[in-house]
Structure 1
Amino acid sequence: MPFNRISGPIEDLHIWTATSNGFSFVISFETRSGPGLRGRPGYLASWRPIHQSRCAIKIGGSPFTTLAEVEMACTDMLAHLIRPA
Structure 2
Amino acid sequence: MEFTRVINPVEDMEIWIASSDSFSFVISCESRSGPGFHGPPGYVASWRPIHQNRGAIRVSGSPFKTLTEAEEACWVMLGYLRSSLSEE
Tell me the TM-score normalised to structure 1 length: 0.96
Number of residues of Structure 1 aligned to a counterpart in Structure 2: 85
Q: How does 1:32-43 map to 2 (within 5 A)?
A: 32-43=32-43
Give the gaps of 5 or more residues in structure 2. none
Contact 2:10-2:35 within 8 A present in 1 as well: no
Encode CA deviations 1:26-84: one digit per residue, 9 max, x unaligned.
Answer: 00000001222111100001000000111110000000000000000000100110112
Aligned CA-pair RMSD: 0.8
Contact 2:27-2:44 within 8 A present in 1 as well: yes
User: Would you identify which runs of 4 or more consecutive aligned residues in structure 1 move more than 3 Å?
Assistant: none
Equivalent residue, structure 1, for 2:31: 31
Tell me the TM-score normalised to structure 2 length: 0.92
Q: 1:73 aligned to 2:54?
A: no
